[in-house]
Amino acid sequence: GGWHITPRALVKFSCALQAGKLVGKSVLKEMRKTGLAGSKYGMGVCVNSHAQWHMGSLATTRSILVHTSRHGGWSWALVSVSPIDCLDPFGWTCLNVVRNAKS
Average pLDDT (33-61) is: 84
Percent of the chain clearing pLDDT 70 (strictly above): 96
Is 70 exceeded by the pLDDT of residue 2? no
* Cα separation, 78 vs 35, whole angstroms: 27
Residue 84 near residue 62 (C-beta atoms within 8 A)? yes
The rounded distance, in Å, linking the Cα atoms of 8 and 12 is 6
pTM: 0.81
81: helix, coil or strand? coil
Domain boundaries, the chain: 7-102
Query: Cα separation of 32 and 34, whole Å?
Result: 6
Please list, in sequence order, all residues whose beta carbon lies within 8 angstroms of the beta carbon of residue 32, skipping any fewer than 6 positions away.
42, 45, 47, 52
